[in-house]
Amino acid sequence: MKKIAVCYKWVLNDADIRVNEKSRDLDVEKSKPQINEYDRNGLATGVMLKESAGAAELVGVTCGADTEPSAKDALSRGPDVVYYLSDPALAQADSTASSKVLAAMIRSLGDVDVVICSECSSDEYAQQVGPRLAALLGWPSVSYVSAVSVNGDTLTLDRKLEEGTETVTVKAPVVIVVSPDVCDAPIPGVKQILSAKKKPSHALTLAGIGLSAETVKPLAAVQSVKAPLTSRKAVNLMADGESVAEAVAKLVKQLSTEGVL
């Protein structure tokens, strides 16, 4: 095998996203971007597969509005090189746009035998990019992959399904979509982080891969994103020294008014 490519997304850390209580708008000011948690297992799968397949190169691939800062982090997780595409036109990219760009990027790299995607991203959770990417490349797509082994250009993949585990074999080139349980994603060590600083990363442009801002425009425009509203009602029982019987009657009345009973 020549190249194994792992796609990853540079997303906001959702733990630090806050909700404005009045407008219910999301406040992302304190939230720093990071590599999508699910994609860390994808990168680890790439490392493992490169080794067992004796592949020449492991490549990290990403696209988005501002992906350059992701390269160092991605490189510390195993790839030999990262190709990133940063374009403001991708700020609202949906799965259609992302898969279009990733497919064009992978075509432009050439010699890619296996593309590894993870199931989803923590921001959109659309679970679309992997299969769409396979369709655009015209390659087979194998999803829900929980175990990977390789022999020459043939991959043997376990698919964890509801009814049981399905084992399939497939010849490269192929897009595989891995589940988080496919392998552990270790936190990079100091030496890995230091060596990442010396590895190369390359910027690609939409024009350079034969696309334009117009072709990656999202098909559905997002008008607003609001946090859900949960309403709670506090009912104070036995506060004024009422008896248990009175409190019970009050509670039953309250619950039936609310339609709970």
Partner 1 sequence: MADYDAIVVGAGLAGSTAAYCMAKAGLSVLLLERGDTAGVKNVTGGRLYGHSLEKVIPGFAQEAPVERKIVRERVSMMTEDSCFTADFHTPSRFDDASCASYTVLRAEFDAWLASKAEEAGCDLVSPAHADDLLRENGKIIGIKGGEDELTAEVVLLADGVNSLLGQKAGLKKELSPHHVAVGAKEILELPKGVINDRFGLNDGEGMANLFAGFPSAGMVGGGFLYTNKESLCLGLVITVADMSKSAVRLPDLLEKFREHPAVKPLVAGAKLVEYSAHLVPEGGLAMLPALSADNLLLLGDAAGLCMNLGYTVRGMDLAVASGHLAAQTVIEAKEKGDFSNNVLAGYKSRLEQSFVLKDMRTHKNAPHFIEHTPRMFSEYPALAADVFTQLFKVDGTPSRLMLKKALPLVSKVGFLNLIKDGLKGSRAL
Site for partner 1, rule CB under 8 A = 187, 189-191, 193-194, 197
Q: Whole-number minimum distance, CB 76 to partner 1, in Å?
A: 9
What sign does the CA torsion over 60, 66, 71, 76 have? negative
Judged by beta carbon, residue 72 or residue 250, the one nearer partner 1 is 72
Q: Whole-number minimum distance, CB 121 to partner 1, in Å?
A: 20
Judged by beta carbon, residue 51 or residue 246, the one nearer partner 1 is 51
First to last CA, the chain: 64
Cα–Cα dist 61/249, whole Å: 63
Judged by beta carbon, residue 189 or residue 208, the one nearer partner 1 is 189
CA separation, residue 99 to residues 13, 62, 73, 134 (Å): 22, 10, 22, 9
Going by C-alpha positions, the residue among 195, 184, 10, 164 that lies closest to residue 87 is: 10
Cα–Cα dist 55/58, whole Å: 7
Q: Whole-number minimum distance, CB 237 to partner 1, in Å?
A: 24
Judged by beta carbon, residue 35 or residue 106, the one nearer partner 1 is 35
The backbone torsions φ and ψ at residue 43, rounded to the nearest 5 degrees and listed phi first, read -65, -40
**10 Å Cβ neighbour count for 117?**
32
CA separation, residue 83 to residues 101, 200, 219, 258 (Å): 12, 9, 26, 56
Judged by beta carbon, residue 195 or residue 215, the one nearer partner 1 is 195
Asked whether 218 and 126 are in contact (CB, 8 A), the reply is: no
Judged by beta carbon, residue 190 or residue 225, the one nearer partner 1 is 190
For tokens 């064009």, the residue is 104
Cα–Cα dist 107/189, whole Å: 32
Q: Whole-number minimum distance, CB 181 to partner 1, in Å?
A: 23
SS3 of 141, please?
strand
Q: Whole-number minimum distance, CB 19 to partner 1, in Å?
A: 12
Judged by beta carbon, residue 29 or residue 162, the one nearer partner 1 is 29
Q: Whole-number minimum distance, CB 241 to partner 1, in Å?
A: 24
Q: Whole-number minimum distance, CB 205 to partner 1, in Å?
A: 29
